[in-house]
Amino acid sequence: MAATKYNFILAIAAILVPSSLATDFVVGDDKGWTINFDYQAWAQGKDFHVGDKLVLKYSEGAHNVLRVNGTGFQECAAPEGTEALSSGKNEIILATPGRK
């Protein structure tokens, strides 16, 4: 009986643990967050999942980060009132599935 209970717990853990592991992605890899960089090419082939973290590293005072949706990214435009992140290292957790 104890072995059956142990096997059941082990099976549940084997199912749940991989789905709860998150990955930190440094946007731009060693180039970081900068100008004249193809972030679409950087993202191609990467599998992003809910709980993953986008880490944006850049020179404080030289660059900043604005949160926009896909259209805003394509048009390089942020809605009025969008707050700039400017610490030099920002982290954005992917909280929902789907394209942003």
The domain limits of the chain are 22-93
For 92, the 3-state DSSP assignment is strand
- CA torsion 45-52-33-99 (nearest 10°) is 60
Give the pLDDT score at 1. Answer: 57
Give the pLDDT score at 98. Answer: 85
Residues 4-23 have pLDDT tens digits of 665 566 556 555 555 568 99
Is there a contact between 27 and 53 (Cβ–Cβ < 8 Å)? no
CATH architecture type of domain 22-93: Sandwich (2.60)
Question: What's the pTM?
Answer: 0.72
